[in-house]
Amino acid sequence: MAEPLLSLEGVTAGYGQIQVLWGMDLVVYPGEVVALVGSNGAGKSTLLRTISGLLRPNSGSIRFDGANIGGERPDIALKAGIAHVPEGRRLFRGLTVRDNLMLGAYLRADKSEIARDLEWVFELFPILRERQRQDATTLSGGEQQMCAVGRGIMSRPRLLMIDELSLGLSPRMVEHLGEALIALNKAGQTILLVEQDVMTAFDLSHRAYIIENGRVARGGISAELAKDPTVSEAYLSI
């Protein structure tokens, strides 16, 4: 088996005196879509923030492509190849869709490849091409999520982390975004996805980790977890 692209061992983290992550262990292999599922407040977003450098771990190891990145600044994580699409989109008011997308490429200098990637984003999300000169924050919620994901793609990451893909969106919009993620993954993109809609997470991912109270409670192949009666009873309400 290939070496993990991302591996966490015994990671703890929190906010001040409040500890949220308690000995987190997980791996993501190149070419995978891995989902993190669990109830609100389980620690999923905190985990992504710790990986991307927005939050410093208290202990444990975070390795990306073999290098220890635990505690590094967000720009170091980005340079290493980790893009973080945050919960709530966090687009820049007053900037157009195109400008928001181009901000994702601000560390890059390869202009021809940047243009190529922008075209790829517009192919994935055609509405963004139509709205590229519109203030990004005036888009619908689903279109804003497309722009946020597109901004992440523009950094040409080795690992694309997406926090709460479907939050507040219509089923049809979630379907569009899911189709885009599948296309991205088929093109070789490795994805770590936080998703409260457990069935959506299982449908889009190869493997999944169930997070409870800042710990990994279960992990495995997504299709098998979806069929597990204990998982269904706890998370799928069926």
Q: Where are the domains of the chain?
A: 1-81+158-238, 89-156
pLDDT at 27: 97
Pairing assessment for the beta strands 159-163 and 67-68 based on DSSP bridges: unpaired
156 φ/ψ sector (left φ>0, alpha ψ -120 to 50, else beta): left
The predicted-structure confidence for 175-194, as pLDDT tens digits, reads as follows 999 999 999 999 999 999 99
Q: pTM of the predicted model, to two decimals? A: 0.94
Look at residue 121 and give its three-state secondary structure.
helix
pLDDT at 230: 85
Low-confidence ranges of the chain (pLDDT < 50): 238
pLDDT at 168: 80
pLDDT at 238: 43
Pairing assessment for the beta strands 190-194 and 33-37 based on DSSP bridges: parallel
CA 83 to CA 47: how far, in whole Å? 14
pLDDT at 57: 96
Identify residue 165 by its one-letter amino acid code: L
In CATH, 1-81+158-238 is 1.10.3720.10: no
